[in-house]
Structure 1
Amino acid sequence: MAFLAAYAFRVLAPDLPDALLDLCLAVTLAAWALFAVDYAVRWRLSGQRLGFARTHMLDTVVLALPLLRPLRVVKVYEAVQRRHGRPRLALHARVIAYSGLSTLLLGFTGALAVYQQERDAPGTTMHTFGDAVWWTCATLTTVGYGDVTPVTPMGRLIAVGVMMIGMALLGAVTGTFASWLLQVFSQEDDERPPGS
């Protein structure tokens, strides 16, 4: 959360005094360094060598793309729920809840990242952070109105990532919902008396 907050301040408040911007940069870099140390220690303790990267794909991707780090909140929440012995949600509800949480976190970080690249670019259509949020929502939901689009190469690369994430999350939620409906209808059919 410190990484995300520091990054957000650097992007959304570029007029802050240089000392505060430098502090935000230091927090961002320190958090990233902690990600790397955490990954290295867990890799070393696992004894899996290269197998660790395959079995911990999210952690590996997050190390390279730290803006995806908020996705780890989902795993932390699950571990805390298990540790406290609280009843976990049903599988379908968990997938939908975690996909929703992931969409919010990734939407916010995607909007920050694309706004950082686009706000001062010549010919940009993202003049405010609100424009970036609008673009992210339209892209994540696969609507893509086209009224706001990235014009820089890095902004377009971020857009590709947001598109892929949007399709994956939409597919996960839709598939889970369809599976849940099939399960409910199947249970209703099993509970009917014969011949009805």
Structure 2
Amino acid sequence: MSVRTPAPPPPSLTRWERRTEIPLLAAALVFLAGYAFRVLAPYDAEPWHDLSLALVGAAWLLFVLDYAVRLRLSGLGLRFVRVRWLDTLVLALPLLRPLRMVQVYTAVQEKRDRPRLGLYARVISYAGMTAVLLGFSAALSVYHWEHRAPGASIRTFGDAVWWACATLTTVGYGDAVPVTAMGRVIAAGLMACGLALLGAVTGAFSSWLIQVFRREDEKEPPAGG
């Protein structure tokens, strides 16, 4: 039984993605900064709350425009929603946009027959950056939903950061736990992402070590020669 390989994306879509990579990264950072200000700033910090809301809205509109262009250039029609499910997910939940970096791990898997050490190093660095951004985003969201909830153990943003670190690394001390429904949904998503990121880093690092040891073995003279 033959395995059907996915068709490569159209050249126009590839060019668009390359051109918009840096602007969309900047928009994602603007979105994150605006959301962080709205969550952490005092309630009477006007007009900065309105300005941060405008920045968040403008960044999200850029994400919508980019998604619409990708959909049109892909030639997939509505199948784009299912085939490019990660793009759809980060459009609906922009704070998950760091997850797009995990796609780099797929590129490593596709090039196993021609491993490149630089690519492995990039996977590890991208996964580390993704973990930091994802943990910060989760801490913001959990703090937003939890700090005023009755019986909450996450009262400060420091508590939220500590909870995010423990959850993302799958340690789970249990001293700070969400009590709201939305907080638990965020926790479940962060645990799943933590497992995925740890798997990506472990797999890339193991492949890099195997490649190094294989090259060292090839340099050694044969025994008894």
Q: Which category of TM-score, normalised to the shorter sequence, fits these structures?
A: 0.7 to 0.9
Q: Which residue of 198, 207, 212 maps to 1:170?
A: 198
- Which is worse superposed, 58-67 or 113-122? 58-67
Q: Answer yes or no: is 1:38 the counterpart of 2:69.
A: no
Corresponding residue of 1:112? 140
Matching residue of 2:52? 24
Partner residue, 1:4: 32
Secondary structure, counterpart of 2:171 in structure 1: coil
DSSP-derived class of the 2:47 partner: helix
Give how far 1:162 is off.
0.6
CA deviation profile, 1:55-98 (whole Å, cap 9, x unmatched):
533321111111122455798xxxxxxxxxxxx97111011010
Deviates more, 1:145-154 or 1:10-19: 10-19
Equivalent AA in structure 2 for residue 68 of structure 1: L
Aligned counterpart for 1:68 among listed residues 53, 78, 96? 96
Equivalenced residue count is 184
Runs of 4+ displaced beyond 2 Å = 14-20, 50-58, 69-75
Q: Which amino acid aligns with 1:136?
A: A
**Contact 1:39/1:59 (<8 A) preserved:** yes
Q: 2:215 aligned to 174, 177, 187, which one?
A: 187
Determine whether 1:100 maps to 2:128. yes
- How far has the Cα of 1:175 moved from its partner? 1.1
Shift of 1:20: 2.3
Amino-acid identity (%): 64
Paired with 1:193 and 1:155, the residues of 2 have a C-alpha distance of 59
Matching residue's letter, 1:127 = R
Amino acid paired to 2:163: W
Counterpart in the other structure of 1:53: 81
CA distance 1:154–1:125, shift in 2 (3 Å) = same
Q: Which amino acid aligns with 1:146?
A: G
State TM-score, norm by structure 2.
Answer: 0.75
Change over 3 Å in CA distance of 1:143–1:129 after alignment to 2:
same
Distance 1:115 1:89 in 2: 39
2:155 corresponds to: 127
1:84 maps to: none
Structure 1 unmatched ranges of 5 or more = 76-87
Please state how far the C-alpha of 1:124 moved relative to its aligned partner: 0.7
Once residues 178 and 73 of structure 1 are traced to their aligned partners in structure 2, the CA distance between those partners, rounded to angstroms, is 20
The one-letter code sitting in structure 1 at the alignment partner of 2:126 is: Y
Within-5 A mapping of 1:151-170: 151-170=179-198
The letter of the residue matching 1:100 is G
**Residues 70, 175 of structure 1: CA spacing in aligned structure 2 closer, same or farther, 3 A cutoff?**
closer
User: Could you list the runs of 5+ residues in structure 2 that have no partner in the other structure?
Assistant: 1-28, 104-115
Higher mean Cα deviation, 66-75 or 99-108? 66-75
Counterpart secondary structure, 1:176: helix
CA distance in 2, matches of 1:117, 1:193: 63
